[in-house]
A = this chain, B = another copy of it.
Amino acid sequence: MSNDLLRQSIKRDVKITDSQLDTICSYFEPRTVKKGDFLLSQGKVYKFEGFVLEGCFRVFTIDKKGNEITLYFAVKGWWLMDIDSFMNQTPSDLNIQALEDSKVLLINKSNKELLYDQLPVVEKLFRVMSQKALIAWQRRLIRNHCQTAKERYHHFTETYPEIAAKLTDRQISSYLGITHEFLSKIKRSGIKKE
């Protein structure tokens, strides 16, 4: 199976048996997404949660002024979820778009609930994953408040060089919360001195 990556990823977060992994994996379906296609678009209800096997996705929202705000990027081994829409089955504020031809494993809401009921370890898994994600969001907010755009840019490209390499400057700037014009100026100033 092509589920090795998912199995490894789960084993990093919880102690789990192979048969439990089999059960979990049996609920996921593979799907390919072409470059530019949307797995979710703003206004729709999110019916799937996804685990990225290959490729790259961008999760973003568009505000009232029409600006794109990127929440995160997801490459191999990352999860794609709009917790709000999936949990409450309300229309999503988010768009999830493939930045290259990609492969994901998807699980729908009713299967996810079956899994939760059937295997308590799945509750633990998503509890641990959510708490780790929370830590990351808190740290990002702190960086947004205490670092300049330039520092944030370098932090991003140094922390995720493989992801940054796949992205356009516009996509990076929408993640950093700055205009692409200003990112261009940051890069120029970064070459000249320090």
Interface digits, A115-139 against B, CB 8 Å rule (1 contact, 0 not)? 0100010011011001111110110
Interface footprint category on A: 20 to 34
Decide if A137 touches B137 in the complex (CB within 8 Å).
yes
Decide if B87 touches A131 in the complex (CB within 8 Å).
yes
Question: Is A145's beta carbon under 8 Å from chain B?
Answer: yes
Contacts of A127 in B (CB 8 A): 123-124, 126-127, 130
Query: Which residue in chain B gives the minimum CB-CB distance to A69?
Result: B145
* A24 shortest CB reach to chain B, Å: 15
**In the bound complex, what is the Cα–Cα distance between A126 and B132 (angstroms)?**
12
Interface digits, A7-35 against B, CB 8 Å rule (1 contact, 0 not)? 00000000000000000000000000000
Neighbour of A142 across the interface among B69, B123, B133, CB < 8 A: B69
Decide if B137 touches A134 in the complex (CB within 8 Å).
yes
Decide if A134 touches B83 in the complex (CB within 8 Å).
yes
Contacts of A131 in B (CB 8 A): 83, 87, 126, 130
